[in-house]
């Protein structure tokens, strides 16, 4: 079933929206703009909604709200489609009911992409997609293009509909949860930065997770292009699948079409044509993982027609995004770094590799079924002491002891962990929050966790 079938003549059609939050509200608002009859279903009763969500419902009395669970009968033969919040699992009863009735279940990015006028650049990957999306957006802005950065990065795509024009650019960070709810999603340019085991509690297997990621290029044609990481085995293995043009980025080897390093220079190559962009040492954001992010952003910009001098200038000035290796402050010779966006072991490993000083680490959080063995080995190699918090503290402790590392302690709260790290740290050390886990056991999201860490660090005095 194609876009034209799903979204044709929405006026009067019954649409079920499962889950509020930012994307649910944005999607519902867009559907109302097109005259749909919207039913919103939420696990939480109305009294437990946020103030923003309650205000939203009060502003749109035409919405039918069903809260406090997922009663049978929400999906009927009259339902045109179901709009699912990314956090809603496919196993949920109304989602299964829709599938049984062959009613489409889509995500907010699928809905929004249909109505956007501007070309879409979509970026996914287990790690680095927020930084790469923000950096790509900055490059296009520096070139004078009106550019929106949205999606999983914080601003729902649906909020851009009606604001964008054909000459603008939309850069969208998209997650596997969002991509699994796509049918005809078709960006002009797309990128998969890397694929490592993550969200296996939701997807069930690495294969299922990989398949969700590949939906980013599933509808791209020869007029479009996908960017893949040649240094990441899982991502490089996808290069023969897309029907669109495939470009590679690599910090380790030359590529025939894409961006790579040669004699310290970042080089864009498209067949026989080559352009030098800048020296890789001019990139401001630290770490090898951010070098990869910069190469991906530079390649997307080249494919978007941006001049090398503009790309170079932005790479040399872009300082990163909040909650990703963010220096909070230096106190008594100790750097306090917020890497709350490190929500899986691979991300936390990259953060540890980017820090070249003794580390006191704060880790732990929501259980996603991750394998912590490689993370534990990196901790043993790099870390003086670890404070473990959250749901996974026990499993992390077992993983650390499994590699012969015992310099850790359990902290009941982030507050206790920060205080303990402060007491242990000496001049020249780094206190690093890089949890290797999601935040949902103790916090609304990684932003809330990171903001609390920053407040606690600034409250240390000095």
Residue 90 CB burial class (10 angstroms; 0-12, 13-18, ≥19): middle
Contact status, residue 82 vs residue 97, Cβ threshold 8 Å? no
**Catalytic positions:** 129, 152, 199
Instruction: Provide the 3-class DSSP secondary structure of residue 132.
Output: helix
Closest CA to 125 of 181, 176, 89: 176
Task: State how far the alpha carbon of 358 is from the alpha carbons of 354, 416, 421, in Å.
Answer: 12, 21, 12
**Cα 405 to Cα 381: distance, rounded to the nearest angstrom:** 10
Q: What are the helix and strand counts (H, E) for the chain?
A: 17, 20
Residues 6 or more apart whose Cβ sits within 8 Å of residue 75: 16, 82, 94, 97, 98, 101, 103
Long-range contact set of residues 443-452: C-beta below 8 Å, sequence gap at least 24: 446/323, 446/340, 446/341, 446/343, 447/154, 447/322, 447/323, 447/340, 449/340, 449/365, 449/414, 450/322, 450/323, 450/326, 450/338, 450/340, 450/341, 452/414
As given in the structure block, the two tokens for residue 277 are: 């962009």
Cβ-proximal residues to 417 (8 Å cutoff; 6+ apart), any chain: 362, 387, 389, 411
- Length of the chain equals 462
Q: Which residues of 388-404 are buried (b: 16+ CB within 10 A; e: fewer)?
A: bbbbbbebbbebbeebe
Phi, psi (rounded to 5 degrees) for 298: -60, -40
Confirm if 148 and 169 have CB atoms less than 8 A apart. yes
Q: How far apart are CA 151 and CA 130, in angstroms?
A: 10
């Amino acid at each position: 079933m194609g876009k034209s079938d799903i979204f044709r003549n929405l006026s009067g059609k019954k649409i079920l929206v499962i889950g509020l939050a930012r994307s649910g509200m944005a999607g519902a608002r867009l559907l109302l703009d097109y005259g749909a009859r919207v039913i919103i279903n939420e696990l939480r009763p109305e009294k437990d909604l946020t103030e923003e969500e309650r205000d939203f419902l009060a502003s749109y009395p035409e919405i039918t709200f069903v809260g406090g669970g997922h009663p049978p009968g929400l999906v009927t033969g009259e339902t045109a489609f179901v709009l699912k919040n990314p956090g809603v699992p496919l196993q949920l009863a109304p989602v299964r009911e829709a599938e049984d009735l062959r009613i489409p279940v889509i995500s907010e990015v699928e809905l929004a992409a249909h109505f956007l006028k501007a070309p879409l650049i979509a970026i996914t990957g287990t790690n680095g997609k927020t930084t790469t999306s923000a950096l790509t957006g900055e490059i296009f802005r520096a070139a004078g293009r009106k550019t929106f950065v949205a999606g999983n990065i914080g601003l729902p795509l649906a909020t851009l509909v009606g604001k964008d024009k054909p000459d603008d650019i939309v850069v969208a960070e998209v997650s596997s949860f969002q991509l699994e709810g796509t049918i005809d999603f078709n960006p002009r340019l797309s990128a998969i930065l890397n694929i490592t085991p993550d969200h296996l509690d939701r997807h069930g297997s690495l294969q299922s997770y990989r398949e969700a990621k590949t939906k980013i290029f599933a509808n791209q044609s020869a007029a479009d292009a996908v960017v893949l990481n040649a240094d990441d085995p899982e991502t490089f293995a996808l290069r023969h699948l897309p029907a669109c043009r495939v470009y590679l980025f690599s910090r380790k080897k030359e590529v025939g079409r894409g961006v790579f390093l040669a004699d310290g220079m970042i080089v864009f190559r498209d067949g026989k044509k080559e352009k030098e962009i800048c020296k890789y040492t001019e990139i401001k954001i630290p770490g090898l993982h951010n070098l990869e992010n910069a190469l991906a952003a530079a390649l997307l910009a080249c494919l978007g027609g941006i001049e090398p001098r503009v790309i170079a200038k932005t790479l040399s000035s872009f300082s990163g995004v909040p909650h990703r290796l963010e220096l909070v402050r230096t106190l008594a010779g100790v750097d306090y770094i917020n890497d709350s966006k490190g929500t899986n072991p691979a991300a936390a490993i990259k953060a540890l590799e980017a820090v070249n000083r003794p580390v006191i680490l704060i880790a732990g959080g929501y259980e996603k079924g991750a394998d912590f063995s490689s993370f534990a080995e990196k901790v043993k190699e790099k870390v003086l002491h670890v404070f473990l918090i959250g749901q996974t503290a026990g499993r992390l402790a077992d993983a650390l002891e499994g590699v012969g590392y015992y310099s850790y302690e359990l902290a009941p709260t982030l507050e206790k962990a920060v205080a303990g790290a402060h007491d242990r740290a000496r001049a020249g050390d780094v206190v690093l929050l890089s949890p290797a886990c999601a935040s949902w056991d103790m916090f609304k999201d990684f932003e809330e966790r990171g903001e609390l860490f920053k407040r606690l660090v600034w409250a240390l005095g000095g």
